[in-house]
């Protein structure tokens, strides 16, 4: 690691989706892809699903902070739902306020207190047009007419949603029978997704409860994916498989996701936790 990167960090997690959060409001933080990969290595580095930098807001933004995200493979990404929730909690703890406005490359996100260590994040409107995802060619994103992977547990057509990052969501009768780590990386890099995709596997338990596992683009199978949970709820509601508000049951715990009818914004509520503090090498 370069000397410029030596600074304190917090290790945080949202339902086991884990992050290294770096304070970058007093000094710029511009890690290279190789440095991000080294830090993210769970054997020789700190280990994380995503690296997060909290930077000062631009003067005209009217935000509390500007936030950047990198996957553990070194790629910078536009959005991270669980990470935004953790940052929102930190900002509200520091300010004493019950609301934090966060600028990301995916747009402005608003975090609010929802209880003890619980945070709600307004993730904005989902992108539902094929160009929003983006896809390589025009498709009905409610149900694709292309076979991305031939497997008996994935008999129905998947849906696509952008939550500031691209998601494809498969519906399956039993998510535990799906070889996520085999199918996920192949679908992630399918030619239909020019920017690759996060790959969700959703099992509808009932109209208010969905079991979900997500292969995250650039991070692999994670214990929880906030934008993936939002995408799964939207994809399910569009197919009338679930109500517009449901509990998403992920490997790391549960998230409440609501797709509001009045403004189409997606609200995600869940916990934020601090694991430990350290200093970047």
Could you report the per-residue pLDDT of 228-244, keeping only the tens digit for each?
999 999 999 999 999 99
CA distance 234 to 197: 16
CA distance 139 to 142: 9
Classified as helix, coil or strand, 88 is helix
CA distance 115 to 100: 15
Segment 255-279 mean pLDDT: 97
Segment 89-114 mean pLDDT: 96
> Which is nearest to 205 in space by CA: 239, 171, 231, 228?
171
Segment 256-270 mean pLDDT: 98
Stated as kind and residue range, the H or E segment containing 203 is strand 198-206
Q: Per DSSP, what are the bridge partners of residue 270?
A: 119
Q: Are 107 and 81 in contact (CB under 8 A)?
A: no
Mean pLDDT of the chain: 95
* Model pLDDT, residue 105: 92
* Model pLDDT, residue 62: 87
> Which is nearest to 253 in space by CA: 236, 239, 268, 241?
268
The DSSP letter of residue 127 is B
Count the residues in the chain. Answer: 281
The tokens for 24 are: 């970058």
Domains and CATH numbers, the chain: 3-124+271-279 (3.10.310.10), 152-264 (3.10.310.10)
> Residue 171 — very low, low, confident or very high, per pLDDT cuts 50/70/90?
very high
Does 225 qualify as catalytic in the annotation? yes
The tokens for 224 are: 């929880």
Cβ neighbours around 174 below 10 Å, total: 10
Cβ neighbours around 236 below 10 Å, total: 25
Q: Which of 86, 160, 225, 230 is catalytic?
A: 225
Which residue in the block uniquely carries the two structure tokens 């547990």? 153
Classified as helix, coil or strand, 97 is coil
Percent of the chain surpassing pLDDT 90: 93
Is pLDDT of 1 > 70? Answer: no
pLDDT in tens, 15-60: 999 999 999 999 999 999 999 999 999 999 999 999 999 999 988 8
Segment 166-178 mean pLDDT: 97
- Alpha carbon of residue 136 to chain centroid: 22
Does 160 qualify as catalytic in the annotation? no
CA distance 121 to 258: 11
Q: Which of 80, 86, 160, 230 is catalytic?
A: 80
> Residue 2 — very low, low, confident or very high, per pLDDT cuts 50/70/90?
very low
Is pLDDT of 3 > 90? Answer: no
Is pLDDT of 4 > 90? Answer: no
Segment 256-268 mean pLDDT: 98
* Model pLDDT, residue 6: 67
């Amino acid at each position: 690691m370069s000397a410029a990167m030596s600074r304190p960090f917090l290790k945080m997690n949202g339902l086991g989706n884990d992050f290294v959060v770096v304070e970058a409001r007093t000094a710029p933080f511009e890690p290279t892809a190789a440095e991000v990969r080294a830090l993210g290595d769970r054997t020789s580095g700190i280990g994380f699903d995503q690296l997060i930098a909290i930077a000062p807001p631009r003067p005209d933004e009217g935000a509390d902070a500007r936030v950047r995200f990198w996957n553990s493979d070194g790629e910078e990404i536009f959005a991270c739902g669980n990470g935004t929730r953790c940052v929102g909690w930190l900002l509200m703890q520091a300010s004493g306020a019950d609301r934090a406005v966060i600028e990301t490359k995916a747009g402005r996100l608003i975090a609010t207190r929802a209880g003890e260590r619980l945070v709600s994040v307004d993730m904005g409107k989902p992108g539902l047009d094929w160009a929003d995802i983006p896809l390589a060619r025009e498709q009905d994103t409610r149900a694709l007419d292309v076979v991305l992977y031939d497997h008996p547990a994935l008999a129905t057509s998947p849906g696509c949603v952008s939550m500031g990052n691209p998601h494809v969501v498969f519906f399956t009768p039993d998510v535990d029978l799906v070889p996520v780590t085999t199918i996920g990386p192949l679908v992630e890099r399918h030619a239909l997704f020019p920017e690759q995709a996060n790959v969700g596997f959703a099992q509808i338990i009932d109209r208010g409860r969905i079991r979900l596992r997500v292969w995250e683009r650039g991070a692999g199978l994670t214990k929880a994916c906030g934008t993936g949970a939002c995408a799964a709820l939207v994809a399910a509601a569009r197919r009338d498989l679930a109500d517009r508000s449901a509990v998403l049951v992920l490997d790391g715990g549960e998230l409440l996701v609501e797709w509001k009818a009045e403004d189409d914004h997606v609200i995600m509520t869940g916990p934020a936790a601090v694991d430990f503090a350290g200093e970047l090498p």
